[in-house]
Each structure stands twice: as structure tokens, then as C-alpha cells.
Amino acid sequence: MRVVVTGGAGFIGSALCRYLVTECGWQVLNIDKLTYAADQRSLAAIEGAPGYRFMQADIADGDKIARILDEFKPDAIMHLAAESHVDRSIDGPGDFIETNIVGTYRLLDAALYYWRGLAPDRQQNFRFLHVSTDEVYGSLGAQGLFDENSRYQPNSPYSASKASSDHLVRAWHHTYGLPVLISNCSNNYGPFQFPEKFIPLMILNAMAGRKLPVYGDGHNIRDWLHVNDHVAALRLIVQHGQVGETYNVGGRNEARNIDIVHQVISHVRDLSPHRTLPKDDALIEFVQDRPGHDRRYAIDATKLENRLGWQAQYDLDRGLRDTVAWYLNHEQWWQPILDRKYQGQRLGVA
């Protein structure tokens, strides 16, 4: 199988490229603009592999994308390129509109042009998988789960831009017949995640004995999905999903933010006993809440489990411990990011 992965130098995209090339033996062309969130070092494991190629390009550059598709002739496009951090979308929504909405539109148009030029059998088998988020569904109360029929109620500039892109993808199927699939997943965690996100930020701060900033009362709930479980789901969806349908992906691992923080500190203590860390209460700092902070996300992944046979392999405690161990052992990956790109400062206070 020949696939274009967009955003393959980011956190999930790089895990997907590594998985498709090494575990599945697919031919992968990674298209990435290389924004601040990209890191080619996350792809070192497949650099030089015969099944892997990289092209630097902006998905909003429709002509360039069209030329790349024409030359590579993919069987599928797996679209992950996006601005992905909610706090940055609060500080500056412009890039989110440009990439997540306009960029997705240009990519869809290039994909449609390419798809129309394919021979009938290849046209029949072609797939465009759009990777989206559970945040398009808004916020849950104490009960209930998001499923594929949940109403769209995005609350942040980020989630509104992802919701818009979902609607465009859906429209390109209904209007033009492009064979699309959409996946909406919950919060990912695992190795190679940029330290602006909650779990890696908490790990690196705990390791350094710095304060761990918890937004609001820390009772917001996220449903954590290990990135390895996510990429396995994406492979199943692109190969066996029903054209035109949506699949929700979630690990059935709900946790309050404050409980994650205690778990992270405990794993750091356990895995590096030579560190002397202050007590949890001295490390944790409750800070001003995120504006419009969604209270709870939780995914019902029954459709994916029953129809495509997917099952999450990681429970949160094991996944978190492995992730803490990975950051403890990969200072050479994260230290240059802290030196050059992001120093852990608070974002998104508006």
C-alpha cells in the first residue's frame, strides 16, 4: 500500500509513519511543513528506509500538493497535518484557520483532482482518511460518552477549526464522491510528544523539580489514548473502514488532570530514586483556568471495536509509566526543544 501521511513529523504523524513503514511494510510519503511542532528526529528509526520518503510542503499550497500526488500516486492519504494545541489557538487563532480549514480545503481539492484521474479500479480503492478530534463534540457533564452521532459543539478556536475541517471532508464525499473516512479521537500520549502538552510538560517539570501548573481545580477529565493504540486504529480504519463513515477512537481511560499529576510524580519518584523531589503538594500549583476549558471528554469506541476488531492495548497506568521512563531516557530528544523552541511558559491565558 502507498500512502501519503500529512503532518508526519509531528507527534502522532511520526508514530504513524514509523508504524506503517516498520510494522506494516507500506510505502510512506510524509508531507510536512515543519512548523515549531515538527521534529524530524522523531523519524530517525525510519530515515533511509526504502519504504519512507519525506517532502517539505504546506498543505495549503494546492499546486505543490497536486504535483506531489501526481508523482507519488498514493492509494490513500492519511491527513494529520494541523495546528493542534488548544492554548495556542486561544493566543492566535489565525494559523489554525489557515492550516486546519483552508489547508484541509486545498488538500481535499488536490486529492479530488488526483482521484478523478485514476483508473476505475484504483479510484474504487482510494481512501482519504481525515484525522480529527473528540473536541468537536464539546464538553460532557458527569455522565455519558461521545459517540459517532454526538452533536458538534466545538468550544475553542482549535476545536472549531477541526469541526470545520470535518464538515468540509464530509461535503467532499457527499457532493463530489471522494471516498473519505473520518476518525475522532481523544487525548493521545506517549513518546515524542511536544512538551507544550499536559503529560510531557508535567513529566519534564516533575523531573526538574519545577512547579506543575494545574489549570483551575484540576478536576477536568480527559480520556487518554496511547499513541501506539491510535496509529493501529488508523491503519484499520483506512484499510477496512466504511467509506463516508466516522469512527471514534478512545482508550476507555478517563482520568482527572490532578490524578494524572499525582501518578506522574509517583512514576518519576519510582523510576529515578536518586532524585529528591519535594512533596506532591509543594510541586503542584493550581493556576488560572484555561478560558472556555472543556470539563470532560470520554469516548465510546464500540463501533471501532465491534466493526473493525480494534482493542486498546495500553491501560493508563502502564502507558504512563512507560512514557515517564521514555522521557527519563531521552533527554537528548527533549532538551534541544526546551533550549530552542519552548521553555514551558504558560500559554493561552487570553
Residues with a known catalytic role: 134-135, 158
Distance CA 145, CA 252 (A): 10
Helix runs in the chain, H state only: 11-22, 62-72, 86-91, 94-96, 104-116, 120-125, 157-176, 198-208, 227-240, 257-271, 280-283, 302-308, 316-329, 331-340
Q: Which of 77, 72, 304, 61 lies closest to 172 in space, CA to CA? A: 77
Site string for ligand NAD, 140-179 (x = CB under 6 A): ----------------------x-----------------
Angle, to 10 degrees, between the axis of helix 11-22 and the axis of helix 227-240? 60
Q: Which does 257 bind (CB under 5 to 8 A by kind): ligand NAD, ligand DAU, none?
A: ligand DAU
**E strand or H helix at 177:** none
- 246 neighbors 137 (Cβ within 8 angstroms): no
Quick one: what does residue 12 bind among ligand DAU, ligand NAD, none, with the CB cut-off 5 to 8 Å set by partner type? ligand NAD
* Shortest distance in whole angstroms from residue 273 CB to ligand DAU: 26
Output 103 or 179, the one with its CB closest to ligand NAD. 103
| Number of Cα atoms under 13 Å in the Cβ half of residue 238 | 27
For ligand DAU, the binding residues (CB under 6 A) are: 84-87, 133-135, 186-187, 197-198, 201, 213-215, 220, 222, 257, 290, 297
Query: How far apart, in Å, do the first and last CA atoms of the chain sit?
Result: 45
* Residue nearer to ligand NAD on the CB measure, 33 or 267: 33
**How many C-beta atoms surround the C-beta of residue 92 within 10 A?**
12
99 binds, among ligand NAD, ligand DAU, none (CB under 5 to 8 A by kind): ligand NAD
Q: How far is the CB of 79 from ligand NAD (least distance, A)?
A: 7
| In contact, 189 and 126? CB cutoff 8 Å | no
**Is residue 38 involved in binding ligand NAD (CB under 6 A)?**
yes
149 vs 93: CA distance, rounded Å: 27
Q: Which of 126, 172, 194, 297 binds ligand NAD (CB under 6 A)?
A: 194
Minimum CB distance to ligand DAU, residue 65 (Å):
22
How many chain residues interact with ligand NAD (CB under 6 A)? Answer: 30
Q: Does 290 bind ligand NAD (CB under 6 A)?
A: no
Is the C-alpha dihedral spanning 163, 198, 323, 28 positive or negative?
positive
Site for ligand NAD in 65-124 (CB under 6 A): 80-84, 99, 103
Please give the residue whose beta carbon sits closest to ligand DAU in the complex: 133
Q: How far is the CB of 220 from ligand DAU (least distance, A)?
A: 4
| CA neighbor of 133 nearest in space, from 297, 330, 325, 334 | 297
Residue 10 binding result from ligand DAU, ligand NAD, none, given CB thresholds of 5 to 8 Å by partner type:
ligand NAD
CB of 112 to ligand NAD, least distance (A): 18
Q: Which three cell numbers stand for residue 206?
A: 516533575
192 binds ligand NAD (CB under 6 A): no
Residues lying near ligand NAD in the complex (CB under 6 A) are found at 6-7, 9-13, 32-35, 37-38, 58-60, 80-84, 99, 103, 131, 133, 162, 185, 187-188, 194
